[in-house]
Amino acid sequence: MQITPLAPSCGVEITGVQLADAAGATLEAVRQAIYAHGVALLRGQVLSPEEHIAFAQRWGGIDINDYFPLTEEHPEIAVVRKREDQQTNIGGGWHTDHSYDQVPAMGSILVARVLPPAGGDTLFAHMGAAYDSLPDDLKAEIEGLEAFHTADHIYASDGVYAQTDMGGDLRGQGMTTGATHPVAIRHPVTGRRLLYVNPAFTVNIVWRSRADSRPLLDRLFAAAMDPAHQCRVAWEPGSVAIWDNRTSWHYAMNDYQGHAREMHRITLSGEALAA
Ligand code: OGA
Ligand code: MN
């Protein structure tokens, strides 16, 4: 097994591993690489839906996403799909999955099933690099602060997706969500300090109005979006990416209009987060 960086501060490519067989020490090494680097790309994987589920079960628990369509045969697998006639994609802005849950999902295993002829890459950003890059006064300012996260403005019946041609494909329009987490967390395994706010789901600092929270959140988001913290996954048939929602943000490029793209996602259970 070989682990090589995708970019200076974010992501690794792992070669010499078939996830369908990975267990024991190999699985542990994959895990640690993802916790540390935020995302791992593995190419040339032969992974049936059943093997995808079995690998996720070896990793730990599976969370079922409340919004994405599920496949009938495998409710553990969420379908991240854009049809060729749709304009809007899923995940087309910087975000981290499930931060609106009080015990947020650890991460996801995303398997490429249908790819456009070009485009449809996924960008990742490392939140440890983002935290480290903050000026000392900003680090001091966020110490002890918590932020409120919700998905309601995204997925509710009057939310962002409902106004688009993706709205009809999603579930959970009647749900309400909300969670508070420290603005800067400590990774539960590596112990590294990480920025844990994101532009999609973090709407205010606790005890501040949404409007009063904007200047601080916008400063943090701007620092986190620095391309120096980023890496890019260009998908091929057989590519699988596994990411850690605590260590990284991600962004699904929507630059393949007129073509279909379909990914299978299994969401891995996580744990409560602390500063
Ligand atoms: C997701 C997501 C990114 C992509 O599945 O959570 O944001 O590139 N997907 O499809
Ligand atoms: Mn996502």
Active site residue 101: no
Give tens-digit pLDDT for 16-37. 999 999 999 999 999 999 999 9
137 Cα: distance to centroid of ligand 2 (angstroms) = 31
- Per-residue model confidence (pLDDT) at position 275: 96
Query: Going from the N-terminus, what domains does the chain have, and what CATH number goes with each?
Result: 2-268 (3.60.130.10)
CA contacts within 13 A on the Cβ side of 174: 0
- Per-residue model confidence (pLDDT) at position 235: 98
Nearest atom of ligand 1 to the alpha carbon of 91: 7
- Compute CA 107 distance to the chain's CA centroid, rounded to the nearest angstrom: 6
Nearest atom of ligand 1 to the alpha carbon of 89: 10
- Per-residue model confidence (pLDDT) at position 137: 97
Please return the burial class of 105, using the count of CB atoms within 10 Å of its CB with bins 0-12, 13-18 and 19+. buried
Q: Is the pLDDT of residue 99 over 90?
A: yes
Give tens-digit pLDDT for 183-225. 999 999 999 999 999 999 999 999 999 999 999 999 999 999 9
Q: What is the rounded average pLDDT of the residues 109-136?
A: 98
Active site residue 74: no
Q: Is the pLDDT of residue 246 over 90?
A: yes
Given 97, 101, 169, 244, the catalytic residue: 97
Q: Parallel, antiparallel, or unpaired: how do β-strands 261-268 and 107-114 relate?
A: antiparallel
Q: Is the pLDDT of residue 175 over 90?
A: no
Active site residue 153: no
